[in-house]
Amino acid sequence: MKLSSILFGDLADLYQDSRIEDAHQNSQVAASSATINRVQLAQLTDAIEKKFSDLEKQNAVVSLLLLKLFNLLLKEHPQKAATIQSEIQAALSIKPSTDATNLLRRSLQLPEVPKPTNRVHKKPQMKPSPRPRSQS
């Protein structure tokens, strides 16, 4: 009895050794994939942060340019500058839910893009058929 249990135990260990090695290899593959994903995510994060930084610099340059142009316009054409200032104030006072492209289209005197209609179709449902009434 003892010999057979030892023999079967050794056979079971041999069978489980290959499964343990397979699990170990799978865990190593998963760990290396996770490392690769982590590195790629860090690279993407750095690229996005750099693009945001570049965009902020470009916005600052454009803002300074617009400010200088507006000050020049204010000195030479104060009435046109006042109308531009009122248009800017009106644009800034619009609710955030308003589409920005429509605002730009209106200021450029282009036709507005129609809003898409809400075409949600409900799934048809089966209704039980009425039972025929028996006439007695």
For the entire predicted model, the pTM comes to 0.47
Q: What is the model's pLDDT at position 29?
A: 94
Q: What is the model's pLDDT at position 9?
A: 63
The reply to whether 124 falls in a domain is no
80 in Cβ contact with 73 (< 8 Å): yes
Amino acid at 35: T
| Exposure letters 89-98 (e unless 16+ CB within 10 A, then b) | eeeeeeeeee
As for how many domains the chain has, the answer is: 1
The rounded percent of the chain whose pLDDT value lies above 90 is 33
Ranges in the chain, pLDDT < 50: 1
The residue range of the domain holding 69 is 8-95
Q: In 10 A of CB 74, how many CB atoms?
A: 14
The reply to whether 89 falls in a domain is yes
DSSP state of 95: -
Q: What is the model's pLDDT at position 51?
A: 93
The reply to whether 51 falls in a domain is yes
| Segment 47-80, tens digit of pLDDT | 999 999 999 999 999 989 988 998 898 899 989 8
